Chain A
Amino acid sequence: MTIKEIQEEIVDEFSMFEDWDERFQYVIDLGKGLPLIEEKYKTEENTIKGCQSKVWVHAEQKDGKIIFTADSDAIITKGIIAVLVRAFSNHSPAEILEADTQFIDEIGLKDHLSPTRANGLVSMIKQIKMYALAFQAKQ
C-alpha cells in the first residue's frame, strides 16, 4: 500500500468513532500495540523534544525502505506515534518526504490535542521527515 492508501485506511477507522472517548480509547489501544523499540535505541539522540512526555524514534534502512520503531513513556503519545509509524514505516525516503500529513487533521487528533501537545506531534512528523532526508542524502 502507498502512504496515501494507509492514511486513508486510518482516516476510515477513526471515522467510525463518534465520541472523543472512543477515539482516545482507540489511540490508547494502538499505543499498547506498538511494536517495542529496542532499549539500546532509547538514546538522547533519538529523543524528540517538544513533547511533555518522552518520545523515542529510531530509524533503519532495509532494502531501500525506512523502518521506524518508536516508544513513549505516555500511552496517548505512544498511540499517536503508532499511527505515524503505521503510516510512514516501510517506505522509501522519497515517498516519506513527498507524503502529506493532512490525515492527522482528518482523524481529529490535532484538534483534540492542545497547542503544546500538538507541537509534540509536529515535532514527531518533523523527525520522521528528517530521517527520510538523511537516508536519501546517503543514497
Chain B
Amino acid sequence: MFDVQKIRAQFPILSQTVNGKPLVYFDNGATSQKPKVVIDAIEKYYQEINANIHRGVHTLSQLATDAYEISRAKIQDHINAEHLHEVIFTSGTTHGINLVANGFASIVTKGDEVMVSALEHHSNIVPWQMLCERTGAKLVVIPMDENGELILSEFDRLLSDKTRIVAVNHISNALGIINPIRYMIDKAHQAGAAILIDGAQATPHLKPDVQALDCDFYVFSGHKICGPTGVGILYGKEAWLNKLPPYQGGGEMIKEVTFEKTTYAELPHKFEAGTPNIAGGIVLGTAIDFLNEVGFDAIQKQEKELLQYGTAKLSEIEGLTIYGTGEKTSVISFNIEGIHPYDIGTIVDKLGVAVRTGHHCAQPIMNYFNIPGTIRASFAFYNTKEEIDIFVEAVQKAKMMLS
C-alpha cells in the first residue's frame, strides 16, 4: 500500500528547511532527490569494496567487479534489453547521445538527413548539429503545435530515404509532453532510419521496454531516477553497437594494443574506456531496485493525482497560462501574464519552494511560444497535495508582490 509519508521518511533531504520554511522540492525534472538506501550504498561501496574493476585479480577488485556487473544485469532486466552487453554505462544522457552522434559520423555523409524534434533538450540538438557540421548532413526538425505536441503528419512527410537517424525524446523536459514514440519508431524503421530515444525525462515515471519499443538506442541518466549524478545508461541494439566505432580510446576498451594496431574489446567494454564511475554504476542498481519496490504503478498513480490537483489549483490563478496541454507527465510549465518567470522563481524560493525558471535548456520551445521562459514545477511520487497548496499560495503571494 502506497503511503507517501512513509516514502518521504526515506528521503532525508525532504525534512529540511530552506530560508526558514519547510522545503517544497518541485524541481524533480532537473534532478530527483535520493533515498537513504542510495546514500548508504555509496558510503558502503567506498568503505567496503572500493577497487578498480575488470582488471585486478585481488578480492576487492572481484567484489567491485561483481557488484558493477550485477547492477548492469539489473538495468538490463529493468529495461528488458535482450543482451547484457547492450547496456553501456555512460556518465549520463548527454554522454550517451554524444557517443551515438559521434559514431554516426562514420555512417552519415553529405546529402543525408538527421532528424530531431522541436521539443528537444539542447543535449539532443547540439550533438546532432555537430554531426551535421562534420559530415555536411542536413538537420531536419519535426515541428510541434500550440499544445506542445509533435505534428505527426509533418514527421511522416519529412521522413525519407535520406533520413539516417531520428533523435527524439520520450517525454519533453520543458513541458512534460509524452511523445508517440512507438509510432515514430515504426515509421523511422519503415523509412530505413535508425532512431534514438532520449529517456531522461521518461525513466523517472515509467519502465521502458526497449524490446517492445523496438528503438535502436535508448539513453537516460541515473540522477533523475533517485540514483547518483555522473552515471547513466546507453542501451543500443547489438547490431548497431557493433557497427558504431568506439567513442573514446583508452584502457578497458581494448583487446590488444601494439603501436601498429589496436583491436577493440567486445561489447559493452568497447564503449567504456577508462575507469568508470564505479560507485555510481553500482548504486544506480540500488536506485532502480528502490523504484521497483515502490512500484511504477504506484508512482504513476501518485504523480497523476498531483498533476491533476496542481493543474486545477494553478488554473484558478488569474492570468496564468499552462504550456503543453497534450498527454503528459507530472510537469506544469506556466507563466503569469505580465510577470517574468525569474521574478516568480525568486519569490517562491524565499518561501521554501524549489522550481525551475528559465528556458529549461530548450530555447526553441520558448521561441515557439515567444516567451523568455517558464516556471516549471515538476512533481515526483514523494511530493504531496499539501506541498502543492504551499506552492500555489507562494505563487499567489509572488503575483501580489510583483503586480
Contact = CB atoms under 8 A, between A and B. Distances in A.
B349 A28 contact: no
Contacts of B346: 24, 76, 113, 117
B342 A52 contact: yes
Given A28-B401, A52-B358, A75 B349 contact: no
Contacts of A112: 350
Q: Please classify how large the interface on chain B is, using the bins under 10, 10 to 19, 20 to 34, 35 or more.
A: 10 to 19
Nearest to A72: B340
B401 A24 contact: yes
A28 B357 CA distance: 18
Contacts of A114: 349
Interface string B1-31: 0000000000000000001000000000000
Given A25-B401, A28-B401, A53-B372, A74 B349 contact: no
A77 interface: yes
Given A20-B350, A24-B347, A53 B340 contact: yes
5 contacts: A28-B402, A54-B372, A75-B340, A76-B342, A114-B349
Interface string B349-386: 11000000110000000000000110000000000000
B252 interface: no
Interface string A58-78: 000000000000000111110
A44 B402 CA distance: 27
Interface string B377-403: 000000000000000000001000110
Contact of A76 (B343, B358, B372, B373): B343
Interface of B: 19, 339-340, 342-343, 346-347, 349-350, 357-358, 372-373, 397, 401-402
B401 A74 contact: no
A74 B402 CA distance: 10
Contacts of A28: 401-402
A25 B339 CA distance: 14
B316 to A, nearest CB: 23
Contact of B350 (A24, A73, A74): A24
A45 interface: no
Nearest first, the 10 A-B pairs at minimum CB distance are: A74-B340, A74-B342, A53-B342, A52-B342, A76-B343, A74-B343, A75-B343, A52-B358, A76-B346, A20-B350
Interface in A1-56: 20-21, 24-25, 28, 52-54
Given A21-B350, A53-B372, A114-B349, A75 B402 contact: yes
Contact of B342 (A20, A21, A25, A77): A77
B268 to A, nearest CB: 37
A112 B347 CA distance: 10
Nearest to A52: B342
A54 B373 CA distance: 11
A69 B123 CA distance: 37
A25 B346 CA distance: 12
Contacts of B372: 53-54, 73
Contacts of B19: 20
A114 B19 CA distance: 12
Contacts of B357: 52
- Count chain B CB atoms within 10 A of each CB in A20, A73, A75, A113 and give the residue with the most: A75
A25 B343 CA distance: 12
